[in-house]
Structure 1
Amino acid sequence: MRFHSMLLALLPFLSASGLGAAEAPPDYRFKVESLLEGIPQPMQFHFAPDGRVYFIEIGGKLKIFDPKTRVVTEAGGVAVTNAMENGLLGMALDPAFASNRRIYLYYSPPDFEGQVLSRFEIKDDLLDMGSRKDLLTVPEQRKECCHHGGTLRFGPDGSLYVSTGDNTNPFGSEGYSPLDERDGRDPWDAQKSSANTNDLRGKILRIRPKEDGSYEVPEENLFPKGMPQTRPEIYAMGFRNPWRFSIDPRSGVLYVGDVGPDSGGDSEDRGPSGFDTLNRIAKPGNYGWPYSRGKRLYRDFDFVSNAPGEEFDPAKPRNESPNNTGLKELPAVQPPLLWYPGSQSKEFPLLGGGGRTACGGPVFHHDPKFESSGGFPEYYDRSIIFYDWQRPAMLWLRLDEQGALKSMEPFSATLRLAQGDPDGSERFQVKRPVDMCFGPDGALYVMDYGETWGANKDSRLIRISYQSGNLDPVARIKAENTRGAEPLAVKLSAADSFDHESQVLSYEWTLEPGGKKLGSEREIGTTIAEPGNYSIGLAVRDPQGGVGRVSAAITVGNHVPEIRFLEPADGTFLTPGKPLRYRIEVKDVEDGDGSQKPDEIGYRTLVNARWESGGSADGSETGLALMKQSDCFNCHAVDQKLVGPPLLEIANRYRGKPEAVEPAVQRILKGSSGVWGEVGMLPHPQINLDEAHLIVRWIFALEPGKASPAMMRGLSGEITVPSSPEPLGGILDAAYTDTGKGVAGPLGGSAQVRLLARKLQAESGKVEGARLLGGEGSEGQFVGAIDHGHRISFGRVQLQDSSTVSFRVSSGNVGGFIELRDGAADGALLAKVEVKNTGAWGNWVELTAPLETKGSVDLSAFFVKPGNGGLMNLDWLRFNP
């Protein structure tokens, strides 16, 4: 799977005629919910008959998510290699899964050079490794990267479809067609795979699994069984990387996104600009790669003499490569449904421009029952979703009776909806849609891969539903001066409240406790004379009886405390295994500055160190944040007993017991006694069900010896930095909650500093101009496609104890200079190193330069070689003590 790396903001919502007779549904009727967060590199998911979601991660894990309880169960996994974009790539549940519990996985074993399609059984929510049946193997070369496809889906006829990539290095042909026929260069020749009728790579395969774990081949595939120099499993051929496709559950038609090459423009000697394509496959066929792309033709090319040859014939393409083991004369090339380059598309302007990873999305079929389940309306019946993993973009497509494109409409309205946002100014963005399907309820479920190539904390499973009927108005309060001494004058505004249907609203303000009416205007002011804890409620009503409510907490007689770190400074480097000293200053009008009663103020100061170790797995940071907002840490610490048991002890008791999650959630919500001794736990009515699930998930994920958050109390102290695994960075949080004043309740303040590993991964900064890439022998991701003037910003960094800086770089081109500066391009020069050609892009070297300036800096890396592009790759930089 080769992903392009440029990002593009979501397209604005533009309506177009043709999707249905009625007017397009308005944006505000779509509701976006995040069901599950922090999924490391998700790939595919499927709904099981019981409503649960099975999903896989590229690292080899299979997991089960229950949308009702929000509980994730790890069902097991397979051993895989993740080198060269390999891993656990695809999964599908058997059509008879409810009775036979069979699941199919497509993955990259570390002991076999290629992909394996295996069938397993699920027993008691675990992957039964003893039930494994290997149906199909797809041998590959692993000398060079990339393209493996990997989607698995069953069609309505019971056939299993598998997508496979061309397994060809894309970098040796200047972004054009890889046709290198020289000896030993077969990894750079897609004619060995995509254009080879006797090879399973660069194809859509179609097989019918049998009861005994073997398979049969449908007669209607591209080549009949027994035909020499062909593989009968091939349903369609001529793909570069048909990474994501979907199947119409009624017609059986496939919609296949094929990721294209990187050529930036047309060439008379080579052929067309790089195009991604969407292909409609209703019958077996050849889709052209590597001889054509986007209805355009490549020229044959001699890599020995660097001389172009004749243009290929789409009606009778021939594969004359010495790496071809199949037929020389190939089936005629079928045209794509969509084709678009990295630049603005002339044929399909709604697609915009930017990075490209075309994906074939699901077809929607309407059912009247969806009106009560949140399913999509009839307007979208029989429409297809096309999406792009990289831009990201989502569009609705409608075809005519012959299967040709009739109309196109952006699907970005739902993606920018944010809790009733009336104008799109607040944006809920799907970062990288990696898989999607319509659920049994008719709502759209989207697996969002997250911001970067690697494991992302912002990855999530999203539900997009449609709300019918009159919608309640949205109530919003802007409140000024909500904390302070009595008498307290508060200003209140409901100006941001609105009604989706633009109906006239009425307003009602009340003060609690007591229910005193404060007014009925959109904006009011009120003065509260007596100290205490209050809530000002706002109710907004529309003429049809819809009501929206919101409240604002008011504390009279107490001030918000101020808290800050005296040390460490923001951007301090970590030393694994060594203690990190901290000092905190607290200032509070009522409690003083800590010098008067340091023990009491220190006890109420909670310090939390969070270590980053390469990606969050289960939304734990959200659970931790919710605990800090509540009273959890007044009674619990991670590894020591306070009022209640250590959280680690709770995790040890319930680890690996998914049935313990729901009772624990209910104990948080309703309180309990006798579970951990005589001291009971108070109820927490202010926490909702979803929040309680996140809290329990965080607690149950704690493990001894791992880099879990460290909790301490006090205005000063030391926290030991973990050494295994070495953290990639961290956050030090401090929170102080005062004691309140009389009847006025307690208030809290917080502070935070960033902690950095001495080795800064290049992708951890803000990359401007260059691209995030993977593979090529890097330590995870790296920053590549670097031109003169590109920049990476790392924020505040403390250099007091560093003397030199090292860079891990490679260059297969002209190289250039890396300049570290304080802030802007004309800021103080901190260090400078020259990067020369290292012999190949995969040849990494380490270069070291002295630091010219010490102290606190706003660190930025600038790449310099005027008039040149493609200078180098940067994997990391390390500050040496």
Structure 2
Amino acid sequence: MKITRLPYRSYLPAVALTGLAIGLWAYSAGPRQFDTMLPPDENRFTKAVLAEKLNEPLEMTILPDERVLLVERHGAVRLYSPTTKQLRTIATIPVSTKYTDKEGNVTEAEDGLLGVNIDPNFAQNHWVYLYYSDPDAARNILTRYELKGDELVLSSKKVILEVPTQREQCCHTGGSIDWDRAGNLYLSTGDNTSPRATLYAPIDEREGRSPWDAQKSSGNTNDLRGKILRIHPEADGSYTIPDGNLFPKGTLKTRPEIYTMGHRNPYRIAVDRHTGNLYWGDVGPDAGTDSAGVGPMAEDEYNVAQRPGNFGWPYFVGANKAYNDVNFATNAKGAPFDPAHPVNDSPNNTGLRDLPPAQPALIAYPASESKKYPIMGSGGRSAMAGPAYYKADFAGAKRPFPDYYDGKVFFYEWMRDMILAVTVNDKGEQTNIERFLPNMPFSHPIDMAFGPNGDLYVLEYGTGWFVQNDDSRLVRIEYNAGNRKPLVQALASQTAGAVPLKVTLSSEGTKDYDGDALTYQWKVYNKNGGQPTVLEGPNPSFTFQKAGQYKAVLTVKDDKGMSDSREIAIVAGNQPPVVTLTTNGNKSFYFPGQSIAYQVNVADKEDGSLASGRITPKQVTVRSTYQQEGTSADHQGDVATSGHKFTEAAYLGSGKTLIDASDCKGCHFVDKKSIGPAFVDVGKRYKGDANAVASLSNKIIKGGGGVWGDAIMTAHPQVGEADAQEMVKYILSLAEKPTVTPSLPTKGTVTPGKEQKGNLVLQASYKDKGANGLPAQTGEQTLVLRNPVLTMGVSDSQSKGIMLYKMGQAPVAIVLASDTYVQFNKLDLTGIRAMEFAVSVPRQQLQAVGGRIEVRLDSPTGQLIGQTDDILPVEAKSAADVFKPVMTKITVTPATGVHDLYFVFKNEKAGKAPLFVPVTTQLFN
């Protein structure tokens, strides 16, 4: 969940601000080595959807002829053909997808058809390797099949390697397959251990608790689970052991197949065939906080192995942060494990007692925002490793990636929907990390691979877990180094009206990224048929004389022959109603506790009007609600031009807004079970429980389990308590039968509560009766009034010298120099007579020296309507006081009408020292 919101009239929590000093250091002299080349233009990349609505796709491999072979967890082997542009199932492998505990309860597991890859000599031998859960025995097996044309020959199956598993408890399967340049096959395996009895290290050594003890697998040198294996498949279906694995062949109590050990769930791996580096993402545990005597908070890891090694699980996480040797029988807290000399003395261990030294992660990050890697953001975690790119591999490709990415490895985050381009030096150190295509949306990428043409294929699992998702896709990302087709925008002065209807068509916003000369052609079609009317030029006009439904299609072509089109639907013969909504008082802000009078008027050419009585008040819908600051309704202009239509969904509470913006959907659906329970079922279970809001919000933040079987709720420490409570209230509301919020009268008042937060949204709408056999039209008007607390970090613009330090979704403005400012656009200042500033001056952490704030209109040097006295550092008597804000209230010269509002920060004696952290400004009338 990626939600952080500053409370009304509040100051920043000290725990959130402790990273500011680190942020400043990174801002001025960060440790990373930056690439000298400029990153390529993101507009040169396009994303093509090849197939969608897949059923839990897990891994894919690209064939030499650009066909894509992918597997789905329930056993389907599917093949996409670029020739037919079709994805079809070519085989179904029987697999196990469930486990049965000792009580006989059957539950969905992570098992199934897990991995796929092709032989390095596929062009000659046509061999395909699959890794899956055997339905007839408690084992996962690596198998080989022959692919003849589009047929997977099931009779050619050879079982190459067996990984015995336990199937009493979920989870962690691994299952990724890759190759090095010597023809060695790498296979990742999970720890096959339940994480659901502890948020920390699963090292339960009690009798009968082996499924909860990862020392039997990840920490066991004589077990293939929790490892990345390296073998050399042979033509007869057997395999040999290459030299250089972790344990020499013949070493007692070891398996020679092990290349790396100490993994929790290395779900996706990648081998760099140029350097030999092995990369993987290890999905970490669930604890949201450090626990004294137990161990550190959870982190996910990106890792690199240049040689065999032990990477620490279940004794260490991240940068070798040690867990304690907890006795689960007595709950006694033992000493922390030693990364230099880890010892496995579990009764479930069949391997060596003394393990190889633990290796730290390349990159590690928690659920909350990482101080070391702020680029990772916050929220749910599922680290995965993708391919390294080398331009030399694509010398004859149609669309190779730009040289900028030569030698970079692509990591990705399944839960956070991000792809990262990472530079790793010859020593195996990360020297640069950056977002790849940050503006391109993804839906839980679960595998990535480059194809022969130079394109990057991405397999998107989709939003929900253990279900077939509508947003699950196979996509191809193409880089166009040459001519690009125009980006076309089509607009109309009006899209509905009475006849004769004169419409001005517009291509405003159309652009060509290559600067080519463009030609414009419009075709107007009647949906009842007939020849279209052709109009030339970018912005022609057309008059519709006959009632009907039409579409206007704009085609724009560049001078090299590339073209694209957009269309607009137009209804002639029914004039949309005109709805007006007016309020008294300030047009930008509401003031908690003060009533706002409003009035609605409606006029429709065919139906009449409210004033005449032909339209009755009950036919008009009027609603008011509050939306979290930062949604699309922040500014009236946004709503007025966005084309949003009135729906009941727009008026669900802030809890739903918070959940929709979080990672909750990865494990929960509203009305059906995923990996976690349906929200409706949660609401029903806790209906009438007076303690539910407190207990469930605490579980969201800290994590926990035990109520819905053995499912664990991952900790979300980045979620504030108030937000967690809003989320729980929404979930609990789902137990009630849905009711439609009664419409307000067309004339009345609304009174925000004295502690009301967010934006007040007033909306009025009327749907007419249709005319001339044409569909009904809806008219609406929306007014948005802001809470009078302005958060400085979310201003409309800032000058140089203002650093925005992002915490979740709420940036903080740090003033690094005098004569800097933040700007808020187009605010109605009518009636505003005073302002109160909350300003933190952290001398100890930021060496802040303080200063004053000037309030100016329309420019940084515009009319001065008020200023504070000097705001100076306050000596902190405790750690909690370091970031405690100073509250300063001033009167301002009254202004009328709409202005751009500037807060200018001054301290002529500051030199190069930062001034302060202005947090909020509250306006008073």
Shorter-chain TM-score bucket reads: 0.5 to 0.7
Equivalence map 1:282-297=2 (5 Å): 282-295=306-319, 296-297=321-322
Equivalence map 1:61-80=2 (5 Å): 61-80=76-95
**Change over 3 Å in CA distance of 1:817–1:95 after alignment to 2:** same
2:97 equivalent to 1:82 = yes
Choose the corresponding residue for 2:50, options 12, 19, 35.
35
**Change over 3 Å in CA distance of 1:555–1:771 after alignment to 2:** closer
- The 1-side partners of 2:147 and 2:435 are apart by 39
Choose the corresponding residue for 2:201, options 170, 177, 186.
177
> Which residue does 2:349 correspond to in 1?
324
- The 1-side partners of 2:504 and 2:253 are apart by 81
SS in 1 for 2:193: coil
> Which residue does 1:405 correspond to in 2?
430
How far apart are 1:258 and its partner, in Å? 0.5
Choose the corresponding residue for 1:452, options 451, 461, 464.
464
Comparing 136-145 and 197-206, the one that deviates more: 136-145
Choose the corresponding residue for 1:51, options 62, 66, 72.
66
Equivalence map 1:161-172=2 (5 Å): 161-172=186-197
- The 2-side partners of 1:534 and 1:768 are apart by 37
How far apart are 1:452 and its partner, in Å? 0.9
Instruction: Give the residue type in structure 1 aligned to 2:72.
Output: E
1:113–1:142 contact (8 Å) kept in structure 2: yes
> Which residue does 1:493 correspond to in 2?
506
Equivalence map 1:537-556=2 (5 Å): 538=554, 550=565, 552=567
- The 1-side partners of 2:736 and 2:64 are apart by 63
2:148 equivalent to 1:148 = no
> Which residue does 2:131 correspond to in 1?
106
Instruction: Give the residue type in structure 2 aligned to 1:411.
Output: F
Instruction: Give the residue type in structure 2 aligned to 1:92.
Output: N
2:662 equivalent to 1:781 = no
How far apart are 1:260 and its partner, in Å? 0.6
Comparing 211-220 and 498-507, the one that deviates more: 498-507
- The 2-side partners of 1:553 and 1:370 are apart by 43
- The 2-side partners of 1:198 and 1:378 are apart by 44
> Which residue does 1:274 correspond to in 2?
298
How far apart are 1:66 and its partner, in Å? 0.4
Choose the corresponding residue for 1:303, options 318, 328, 339.
328
Choose the corresponding residue for 1:250, options 259, 274, 277.
274
**Change over 3 Å in CA distance of 1:536–1:76 after alignment to 2:** closer
**Change over 3 Å in CA distance of 1:182–1:442 after alignment to 2:** same
**Change over 3 Å in CA distance of 1:410–1:485 after alignment to 2:** same
2:496–2:576 contact (8 Å) kept in structure 1: no
How many matched pairs? 601
2:132 equivalent to 1:239 = no
> Which residue does 1:842 correspond to in 2?
709
> Which residue does 2:451 correspond to in 1?
439
> Which residue does 2:216 correspond to in 1?
192
How far apart are 1:19 and its partner, in Å? 6.1
SS in 2 for 1:458: coil
SS in 2 for 1:314: coil
> Which residue does 2:543 correspond to in 1?
527
**Change over 3 Å in CA distance of 1:485–1:51 after alignment to 2:** same
- The 2-side partners of 1:399 and 1:26 are apart by 23
1:94–1:103 contact (8 Å) kept in structure 2: yes
- The 1-side partners of 2:572 and 2:316 are apart by 75
How far apart are 1:273 and its partner, in Å? 1.0
SS in 1 for 2:508: coil
RMSD between superposed Cα atoms in Å: 4.4
1:361–1:385 contact (8 Å) kept in structure 2: yes
- The 2-side partners of 1:82 and 1:858 are apart by 43
1:345-400 Cα deviation digits (max 9, x unpaired): 11111011111010011101114966972221011100011101111221110122
Instruction: Give the residue type in structure 1 aligned to 2:133.
Output: S
How far apart are 1:498 and its partner, in Å? 2.5
2:78–2:89 contact (8 Å) kept in structure 1: yes
- The 1-side partners of 2:435 and 2:190 are apart by 28
SS in 2 for 1:28: helix
How far apart are 1:503 and its partner, in Å? 8.1
- The 2-side partners of 1:172 and 1:465 are apart by 45
SS in 1 for 2:410: strand
**Change over 3 Å in CA distance of 1:339–1:70 after alignment to 2:** same
1:714-752 Cα deviation digits (max 9, x unpaired): xxxxxxxxxxxxxxxxxxxxxxxxxxxxxxxxxxxxxx9
1:772–1:781 contact (8 Å) kept in structure 2: no
Q: Give the TM-score of the pair, scaled to structure 2.
A: 0.58
1:479–1:552 contact (8 Å) kept in structure 2: no
Choose the corresponding residue for 1:25, options 27, 40, 47.
40
1:223-274 Cα deviation digits (max 9, x unpaired): 1111110011101000011111111132232111101111111122112110
- The 1-side partners of 2:735 and 2:261 are apart by 57
- The 1-side partners of 2:446 and 2:329 are apart by 40
**Change over 3 Å in CA distance of 1:489–1:368 after alignment to 2:** farther
**Change over 3 Å in CA distance of 1:481–1:286 after alignment to 2:** same
Task: Show structure 1 runs of 5+ residues with no match.
Answer: 9-13, 418-428, 563-588, 590-751, 755-762, 785-790, 795-804, 820-824, 826-836, 860-881
Instruction: Give the residue type in structure 2 aligned to 1:231.
Output: R
1:146-181 Cα deviation digits (max 9, x unpaired): 1111111222211111111111111222x1111111
- The 1-side partners of 2:125 and 2:58 are apart by 24
> Which residue does 2:643 correspond to in 1?
none
How far apart are 1:46 and its partner, in Å? 0.5
2:222–2:254 contact (8 Å) kept in structure 1: yes
**Change over 3 Å in CA distance of 1:113–1:809 after alignment to 2:** farther
2:78–2:87 contact (8 Å) kept in structure 1: yes
SS in 2 for 1:80: coil
- The 1-side partners of 2:569 and 2:686 are apart by 58
SS in 2 for 1:243: strand
Choose the corresponding residue for 1:474, options 484, 487, 491.
487
- The 1-side partners of 2:430 and 2:682 are apart by 54
- The 2-side partners of 1:526 and 1:212 are apart by 73
Comparing 466-475 and 289-298, the one that deviates more: 466-475
> Which residue does 1:209 correspond to in 2?
233
2:62–2:450 contact (8 Å) kept in structure 1: no
How far apart are 1:458 and its partner, in Å? 1.3
> Which residue does 1:379 correspond to in 2?
404
How far apart are 1:546 and its partner, in Å? 7.7
> Which residue does 1:390 correspond to in 2?
415
Choose the corresponding residue for 1:463, options 472, 476, 497.
476
How far apart are 1:753 and its partner, in Å? 14
Q: Give the TM-score of the pair, scaled to structure 1.
A: 0.61
How far apart are 1:841 and its partner, in Å? 3.9
